[in-house]
């Protein structure tokens, strides 16, 4: 039973990932219906406001196999919902279809759910197995669960560093990561709600912060410009993507197609910013730079995840890359680059 459950749950995870970037602020979820060790239906949550994974899986069962639904086991990567949001509660459909066995990976931390969905199923005689590949299941929905429990987005620090520990030069743009890494970053942009850079990065690099190299949605841009120094011709002000400017001088941006948040840049900057972004429905924030922004993020301990590319390039001088104290959750090679992903288990802000 356990070996089969692991195999089917991994398939649920694969399906769920197909929804990343399209379902926020909902979590990505995948589901399967299995009868006699055969998958008879599968589905995933495709878009925010659309049908949940359980509905997609049940509706995908061919007509001639539908009599098998009550005899099948439903595998779901996340606890089925028991509250009415954009769609009806999934537990109602499960009970209506007469499904007697449900296998779940992680608990949904949404207020009003948090294990209640599984409890209701058990109360109606459904056999429920919870916790299959639970750590992987929680990681898959970490953006949603943090936002649901704290009101703040999951914060990802991302940068590239040279072999000798520098992330760039002081006065000009330097490409440290390779083409494979660059394309992967565009995929990440599609998967998050917002992407953030500070004044110097916007000035020196003039980035677009879009997903030009990956199919999908571009995230909201969050631009830090404390004193309103950025010229208005920069790509980040082109109006093509919703843009939020964090500043102490909101009047400098009143003619631009942007939203401004006037914020005190003091010691409570990061907690205040994350609270503000959370109220806007932003569940994940990718912080791309520059160096002072990343260092302040590390010092505040407000980061949740760090994605660091290391190149064989040797700079010899420049801006030192920050370091992280956390757990390495993944390390892989991308051509001559190495990607290391860190998880901060004790964010402190």
Chain center to CA of 134? 18
Does 79 participate in catalysis according to the annotation?
no
Which SS3 state, helix, strand or coil, does residue 163 take?
Answer: coil
Q: Which residues of 181-216 are buried (b: 16+ CB within 10 A; e: fewer)?
A: beebbbebbbbbbbbbbbbbbbebbebebbbeebee
Tell me the C-alpha distance between 106 and 86, whole Å: 21
Distances (CA, A) of 203 to 159, 178, 294: 17, 22, 17
Tell me the C-alpha distance between 122 and 115, whole Å: 11
Counts for the chain of helices (H) and strands (E), in that order: 10, 16
Which SS3 state, helix, strand or coil, does residue 324 take?
Answer: coil
Which SS3 state, helix, strand or coil, does residue 203 take?
Answer: helix
Catalytic one among 54, 79, 191, 305? Answer: 54
Residues taking part in catalysis: 54
């Amino acid at each position: 039973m356990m070996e089969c459950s692991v195999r089917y749950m991994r398939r649920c995870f694969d399906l769920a990932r197909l929804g990343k970037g399209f379902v926020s602020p909902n979590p990505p979820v995948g589901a399967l219906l299995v009868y006699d060790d055969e998958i008879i239906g599968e589905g995933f949550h495709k878009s925010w406001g659309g049908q949940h994974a359980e509905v997609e899986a049940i509706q995908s069962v061919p007509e001639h196999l539908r009599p098998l639904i009550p005899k099948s086991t439903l595998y779901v990567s996340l606890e089925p919902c028991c509250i009415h949001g954009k769609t009806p509660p999934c537990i109602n459909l499960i009970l209506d279809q007469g499904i007697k066995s449900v296998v779940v990976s992680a608990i949904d931390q949404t207020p009003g759910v948090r294990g209640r969905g599984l409890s209701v199923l058990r109360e109606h005689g459904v056999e429920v197995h919870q916790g299959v590949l639970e750590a992987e299941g929680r990681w898959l929905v970490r953006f949603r669960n943090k936002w649901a429990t704290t009101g703040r987005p999951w914060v990802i620090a991302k940068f590239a560093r040279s072999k000798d520990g520098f992330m760039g030069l002081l006065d000009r743009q330097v490409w440290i990561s390779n083409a494979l890494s660059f394309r992967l970053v565009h995929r990440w942009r599609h998967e998050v709600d917002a992407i953030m850079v500070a004044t110097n990065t916007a000035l020196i690099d003039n980035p677009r912060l879009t997903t030009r190299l990956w199919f999908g949605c571009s995230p909201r841009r969050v631009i830090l410009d404390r004193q309103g120094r950025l010229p208005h011709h920069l790509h980040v002000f082109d109006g093509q993507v919703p843009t939020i400017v964090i500043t102490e001088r909101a009047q400098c941006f009143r003619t631009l197609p942007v939203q401004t948040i006037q914020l005190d840049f003091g010691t409570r900057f990061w907690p205040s910013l994350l609270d503000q972004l959370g109220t806007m429905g932003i569940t994940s924030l990718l912080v791309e730079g520059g160096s002072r922004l990343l260092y302040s993020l590390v010092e505040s301990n407000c980061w949740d995840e760090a994605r660091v590319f290391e190149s064989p390039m040797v700079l010899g001088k420049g801006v030192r890359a920050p370091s992280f104290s956390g757990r390495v959750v993944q390390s892989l090679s991308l051509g001559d680059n190495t990607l290391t992903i860190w998880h901060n288990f004790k964010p402190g802000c």
